[in-house]
Amino acid sequence: MSEQPMNPTPDEATDDDAPGTAPAGTVPTGSTAADALADPFADAATDVTADEAAALRAASFERARRLRQEPRFPGGPAADPAGSHHERRIRSFQPRRSRVTTGQQDALERLWPKWGLDIDGQRVLDLAHLFDGLPVVLEIGFGMGEATAQMAADDPGTGILAVDVHTPGQGNLLGLADKAGSTNVRVANGDAVILLREMLAPESLDGLRVYFPDPWPKARHHKRRLIQPEFLDLVAPVLKPGAIVHCATDWEPYAEQMLEVLTAHPRFENTAADGGYAPRPAFRPLTRFEGQGLDKGHVVHDLLFARV
């Protein structure tokens, strides 16, 4: 699974060795934004003044900025749904752009208006209306959506609000849910912290699922891990009493941190009698990613804590 903001913040820009990212301010070669960053003097006279040169550069970078913020699919998930609502904050995920297949594009174009929503931080969601009265669990980071689609199909009586920023995964999940005839999935695009903090009513969720979040293995990146005391402070108020927080990871040090942080929080109680890890519940499918890890000898830990 994947955690995933839209544009890196100044804090993120300082981590020049964060995994899977280009240096701050760079644009992939061959992209429209890269074309906009090309030599602004290509069609200009060579004897421009310093002020004219500065104006050309400013206009070029502004065009590139607008292009990066334009949605890839008009009417689909926004490139930067919260916009100026973002604040300087260390985030637990990095923006990714990958190729969208024809099938994923078709699903986004057909189903996003019906089952998709942008996390803009400007409204409180009416989950009862959004899910036709079903109890709702929040899933943060669903990767390509295979496990989420299977859980939705296996339990049509539970609504799943699935959050991610990876466009191909969003399209894939929508397509899988549509193919299975599942109507209990809604795909949210954007930063889960903004969703929790500003778009969910108190005690509106029946559970939270965080499966295989980025472990951020380097010590200096541990601050980016999602499961932190401050994150749980946001989660607790929007969960109903008794709601389950279910985490899973195959990264042993992160599992240990999850257990420590959840155990220490006064509003969560471990459901495991021995105060440790829990067996994998039958409702959580064995994912392809998880299977690959198990083949390599990785140990997967599940943690189930109840909101008290």
Looking at residue 272, its amino acid is A
The answer to whether the CB of 288 falls within 8 A of the CB of 250 is: no
Set 155, 214, 295, 302: catalytic member: 214
Residue 214 annotated among the catalytic residues of the structure? yes
The answer to whether the CB of 227 falls within 8 A of the CB of 262 is: yes
d(CA 291, CA 298): 9
The answer to whether the CB of 206 falls within 8 A of the CB of 279 is: no
Beta bridge partners of 115: none
SS3 of the chain: CCCCCCCCCHHHHCCCCCCCCCCCCCCCCCCHHHHHCCCCCCCCCCCCCHHHHHHHHHHHHHHHHHHHHCCCCCCCCCCCCCHHHCCCCCCCCCCCCCCCCHHHHHHHHHHHHHHEEECCCCCCCCHHHHCCCCCEEEEECCCCCHHHHHHHHHCCCCEEEEEECCHHHHHHHHHHHHHHCCCCEEEEECCHHHHHHHCCCCCCEEEEEEECCCCCCCHHHHHHCCCCHHHHHHHHHHEEEEEEEEEEECCHHHHHHHHHHHHHCCCEEECCCCCCCECCCCCCCCCHHHHHHHHCCCCCEEEEEEEC
Could you list the active site residues?
A: 214
